[in-house]
Amino acid sequence: MKPLVTEKAVMLIERDNVLTFELDKRKTKVEIKEEVEKVFNVKVDGIRTLIHDNKKHAYVKLNKKNLAIDLATKLGMM
């Protein structure tokens, strides 16, 4: 799982509390949710996925108690 840092990803972090990751396209939404909650110790509200250029991108919406901008700062995205 690799965080994506693009203009759109930064806008989603600030506006919608959403983090964007690039991952193996065989992973399911349930697996992605469990991994994000376990690794980053946050609560996930929802996940949207997209397959682009043979890679899967996951848009992970965090719970309001967990701010995406704080996590992005810890990951060095901001």
Terminal-to-terminal C-alpha distance of the chain: 18
Range 2-75: architecture per CATH? 2-Layer Sandwich (3.30)
Q: Answer yes or no: pTM beyond 0.75.
A: yes
Name the residue with tokens 């506006």.
15
**What are the residue ranges spanned by the domains of the chain?**
2-75
- What is the total residue count of the chain? 78
Cα–Cα distance measured from residue 50 to residue 43, given in angstroms and rounded to the nearest whole number = 21
Please report the DSSP string for 12-66 in residue order: HHHHH-EEEEEE-TT--HHHHHHHHHHHH---EEEEEEEEETTEEEEEEEEPTTS
pLDDT tens digit string along 5-40?
A: 999 999 999 999 999 999 999 999 999 999 999 999
